[in-house]
Amino acid sequence: MDTETDGRVGPAVGRALDADVTGVATLDGGMVGGVHRVDLADGRTVAAKTGATPLTVEARMLDYLGDRGLAVPDVVYASDALLVLEFVAGDGAGKASGGLAPGAARDAARRLAALHDHTAERYGFPFDTLSGAYHQPNPRTDSWVDFFREHRLRHVARAARDEGTLPPGLFDRVAALCSRLGDHIPDDPPASLLHGDVWANNLMVDGGEVAAFLDPACSYGHAEVDLAYCSFVGFDRSFFEAYDRERGVEPGFRDGRCAVYRLLPELEHVRHFDADRYRRAVDATLSAVGY
Q: What is the pLDDT of residue 1?
A: 40
Q: Poorest-confidence range of 13-17, 151-155, 203-207?
A: 203-207
Query: Over 80: is that where the pLDDT of 94 sits?
Result: no
CB distance 260 to 286 below 8 Å = no
Tell me, yes or no, whether 122 and 237 share the same domain: yes
| Total number of domains constituting the chain | 2
Tell me, yes or no, whether 220 and 267 share the same domain: yes
pTM over 0.75: yes
Tell me, yes or no, whether 202 and 178 share the same domain: yes
Q: What is the pLDDT of residue 97?
A: 60
Tell me, yes or no, whether 115 and 197 share the same domain: yes
Q: Which of 37, 65, 86 is the last residue of a domain?
A: 86
**Residues carrying an active site annotation:** 197
Q: What is the pLDDT of residue 2?
A: 46
- Please report the DSSP string for 136-180 in residue order: E----BS-HHHHHIIIIIHHHHHHHHHHTSS-HHHHHHHHHHHHT
Q: Residue 121's domain spans which residues?
A: 95-288
Distances (CA, A) of 193 to 69, 93, 291: 11, 28, 30
- Please report the DSSP string for 36-93 in residue order: EEEEETTS-EEEEEE-SS-HHHHHHHHHHHHHTT---PPEEEE-SSEEEEE------T
Share of the chain above pLDDT 70, in %: 95
Tell me, yes or no, whether 39 and 140 share the same domain: no
CATH number assigned to the domain comprising residue 63? 3.30.200.20
CATH number assigned to the domain comprising residue 129? 3.90.1200.10
Tell me, yes or no, whether 43 and 140 share the same domain: no
Tell me, yes or no, whether 176 and 244 share the same domain: yes
Q: Which of 69, 86, 103 is the last residue of a domain?
A: 86
Tell me, yes or no, whether 62 and 104 share the same domain: no
Average pLDDT for residues 188-215, to the nearest whole number?
96
Query: Over 70: is that where the pLDDT of 3 sits?
Result: no
Tell me, yes or no, whether 101 and 77 share the same domain: no
DSSP H or E segment with residue 225: helix 224-232
Find, among 109, 149, 115, 146, the residue nearest to 230 by Cα.
Answer: 109
Query: Over 90: is that where the pLDDT of 12 sits?
Result: yes
Q: Which of 59, 86, 113 is the last residue of a domain?
A: 86
Instruction: Specify the amino acid at residue 3.
Output: T
Q: What is the pLDDT of residue 98?
A: 60
Tell me, yes or no, whether 16 and 121 share the same domain: no
Per residue in 250-280, pLDDT tens? 999 999 999 999 999 999 999 999 999 999 9
Tell me, yes or no, whether 45 and 141 share the same domain: no
Tell me, yes or no, whether 233 and 105 share the same domain: yes
